Amino acid sequence: MLSKRIVLCLDVRDGKLTKGVKFAGNVDIGDPVESARRYSDGGADEIVFYDITASAERRGIFLDVVEKVAGQVFVPLCVGGGLSHIDDLDAVLQAGAEKVSLNTAAVKNPDLIAEGASRYGSQAIVVGMDVLKVPTSAVFPSGYQIYINGGRTPVELDALAWARKCQELGAGELCINSIDADGTLDGYELNLNALIADAVNIPIIASGGAGNPGHIHEVLTKGKASAALLASIVHYGQYTIRQLKEYAAERGVPVRLSW
C-alpha cells in the first residue's frame, strides 16, 4: 500500500534556513544542507526548499544549496519560491530538484503549469496554493479564496475552481496551504483539504497548522491528504519525524518506518 508522506519544509533566505510564522517575522535557524541531511536521516519522505530570497541576484546562492543537498540527500527534493519563468524551473531541476512548486506565477500565468508539465512531466509540477476562508459567495462558491505574493495579495479566484484548473493544466500535485491555520499549531484545515482532495485525482499535500501528532493523523485520514507538510513542529525539536509517523502508524495509517 502507498505510504502517506511526511514532507519537511525548509524556508531558505540568502542560503540560510529560516522559519516564518504567519508569513512574517522570520529568524535564521541554521544551515539548510545540514538540516536536509538530518531530516532525511530522520525519516523525512520528501524535502521542500522554499526560497524566500528577496533579490534576484542572490538566487545563485540558493541554487548552490539545492545542488549540495542533491549530492548528499537521496529522497525527493522539491523547490519553490520565486519561480516565474520556465528558465527558473530549468535551473532548479538542473541543480537536482525533482519537483518545482509554483504559486504566484501559476496564478498570474497558468500556462506555466502546462508548459512545465509538457517539458518535465506532471510529476515535476506541484502547484502551491495559499488559501483563506471567506464567506461563500458567487465569486467564491467554495468559501475559500486564493491569495498570492506569499499570502499578502487576494485574487478573485475560488480555491476549488483553481485546484480543478491546475489539475486540468497538468499539475502533478497540489500543496494546499491554509493561511488561517499557518503557524497556529492548532491543526490543519481539514475541511479545505478534504474538499479539494475529493475534487481532484492528483495527490494533495496539506500545509499549515501542524502542532501535534494528532493533527497529522487527522489530515491524512479525515483531511484525505496524501502528504502532510511540516516545519515548526519538527524544526524546534518538539517531535521527531519517527514519533509523528509511529503515532499515525499505530492508528492504521500506512507510513514508511524503515529507512
What is the chain's alpha carbon radius of gyration, rounded to the nearest angstrom? 17
Number of neighbours of residue 199 by Cβ within 10 angstroms: 16
Give buried/exposed letters for 176-193 (b at 16+ CB in 10 A, else e): bbbbebbbbeebbbbebb
DSSP string for residues in 203-248: -EEEES---SHHHHHHHHHTT--SEEEESHHHHTSSS-HHHHHHHH
Please report the sign of the dihedral spanned by the C-alpha atoms of residue 116, residue 118, residue 120, residue 121.
positive
Q: Check if 88 is active-site.
A: no
Residues binding another protein (CB under 8 A): 1-5, 40, 45, 70-72, 74-76, 94, 96, 98, 120-124, 172-173, 201-203, 224, 226-227, 252, 254, 256-259
Catalytic residue among 88, 130, 158, 182, which? 130
Q: Check if 11 is active-site.
A: yes
- Taking 3-state DSSP, the helix, strand and coil percentages for the chain, each rounded to the nearest 5, stand at 35, 25, 35
Q: Hey, what amino acid is at 40?
A: S
Closer CB to another protein, residue 9 or residue 202? Answer: 202
Closer CB to another protein, residue 237 or residue 252? Answer: 252
How far is it, in rounded angstroms, from Cα 189 to Cα 94? 34
Residue with cell 467554495: 142
Catalytic residue among 11, 45, 51, 182, which? 11
Compute the least distance from the CB of residue 119 to another protein, in Å. 9
Residue 136 backbone phi and psi in degrees, to 5: -60, 135
Per-residue CA distances from 219 to 6, 15, 85, 95 (Å): 11, 31, 32, 32
Number of neighbours of residue 250 by Cβ within 10 angstroms: 10
The residues carrying an active-site annotation are 11, 130
